[in-house]
Amino acid sequence: MREEQKQSSLKRLFRKRWVFPAIYLSSAALIVAGALWFQLGKDENTGKDNVAENGAAQQENPAVPVNETVENIAMPVLDPNAVQVKTPFYDDDASEQEQEAALVFYDHTYHPNQGIDLARQDGKTFDVTAALSGTVAKAEKDPILGYVVEINHEQGVTTVYQSLADVKVEAGDTVKQGEVIGKAGQSEFNKEAGIHVHFEIRKDGKPVNPIEYIDKPLTALTDQAKDHAGDDRAATNKEKQLMPSDETAPTETEQTPADDNTTAPSDDHSEQNEDASSYKTPDASIGMARA
């Protein structure tokens, strides 16, 4: 009896108009709620993955400090005010008087100074420091130049320190700007300078005037080298334009033939030329003799 009553109650319930719409609406609400729950869970997991990936990327690519200092070329002494330029750099564009002051007399020959010679006014020795941070390429004693230290830097720049009484670094050492590398001394090459340090700056092996680049960054040397390269190319092109063509240039057949009676130069004269050309200056950085 009870089962028959339940079935009849269900039949009466389904006969009502609002039953089926209510069932449809409830089912739709459940489906929408399930879809939203699934989407929220997926977004949360994706956010965690992005945080993990970004964290790993930040660790692999650490930020470069914005306030990283850039070194300017410094005088190779602890106190620049305590020294003076004893012998200046030989500049091809300088006046004749300035060029004469930049000549060093050694072995009966005048040599253009490839750097600057610094000395104290009282003639005492002083500490010599690295003008820039870098790696020591050479630290050795030269019988003519005294102790010599060469330090390599970035962008093809090398600083050279000669006439040292001693050295405190070795080849391969890494030095910081302002670090003491030796003491000023004397050299056979420039005795007139007394106790001093001979300081050079070279860009790609070519000496430049150190005074022009003190308190300036290495980029100043790079920009100057580019300007010189442009000037050299322009001068070369101009020379090519001024050169006579092959048609106007005299050929060997057009030249006056040598006289049959002309005598060859003597052997003694040839030997003298060979002796003159075999003479070598003490260091590759030392220039040619004064005319």
CATH code, 91: 2.70.70.10
Confidence of residue 58 (pLDDT cuts 50, 70, 90): low
At 269 the pLDDT is 43
111 with 215, same domain: the answer is: yes
| pLDDT tens column, 214-230 | 999 988 987 765 555 44
Choose one of 189, 220, 251: the last residue of a domain: 220
Q: What is the mean pLDDT of residues 41-47?
A: 62
Q: Does residue 190 share a domain with residue 91?
A: yes
Domain boundary among 201, 220, 239: 220
192 shares its domain with 140: yes
Quote the pLDDT of residue 237. 52
Tell me the range of 16-20, 243-247, 268-272 where mean pLDDT is highest: 16-20
- Residue of higher predicted confidence among 166 and 224: 166
Q: Flag the least confident range among 92-101, 106-115, 231-240.
A: 231-240
* pLDDT over 70 (residue 285): no
**Structural Rg of the chain based on CA atoms:** 42
Residue 39 pLDDT: 76
Residues 95 and 159: their CA atoms lie apart, in Å, by: 26
Query: Are residues 157 and 53 both part of a single domain?
Result: no
Overall average pLDDT of the 117-142 stretch: 97
If asked whether residues 86 and 215 sit together in one domain, one would say yes
CA distance 192 to 117: 11
Does 135 score more than 90 pLDDT?
yes
Is the predicted pLDDT of residue 245 greater than 60, yes or no? no
31 domain-assigned: yes
Structural domains of the chain, count: 2
Distance CA 288, CA 184 (A): 26
36 with 164, same domain: the answer is no
* DSSP letters spanning 164-225: EEEES--TT-EE-TT-EEEEEB--STTGGG-SBEEEEEEETTEEE-GGGTTT--HHHHHHHH
Query: Do 216 and 84 belong together in one domain?
Result: yes
- Burial per residue of 234-267, b for 16 or more beta-carbon CB atoms within 10 angstroms, e otherwise: eeeeeeeeeeeeeeeeeeeeeeeeeeeeeeeeee
Is residue 243's pLDDT more than 90? no
**271 located within any domain:** no
For 86-102, write each residue's pLDDT tens digit: 999 999 999 999 999 99
* In a domain? residue 237: no
Q: Are 35 and 100 found together in one domain? A: no
Q: Is residue 96 part of a domain?
A: yes
Question: Distance between terminal CA atoms of the chain?
Answer: 139
Task: Note whether 51 and 166 are same-domain residues.
Answer: no
- Same domain (yes/no): 140, 188: yes
- Residue 241, in any domain of the structure: no
Domain identity same for 189 and 95: yes
- One domain for residues 11 and 126: no
Instruction: In whole angstroms, give the CA distance from residue 270 to residue 267.
Output: 5
DSSP H or E stretch at residue 36: helix 19-60
Q: What is the pLDDT of residues 138-163, one digit of tens each?
A: 999 999 999 999 999 999 999 999 99
The answer to whether position 232 is within a domain reads no
The last residue of one of the domains, among 203, 220, 237, is 220
Domain that holds residue 100: 80-220
Q: Is residue 243 domain-resident?
A: no
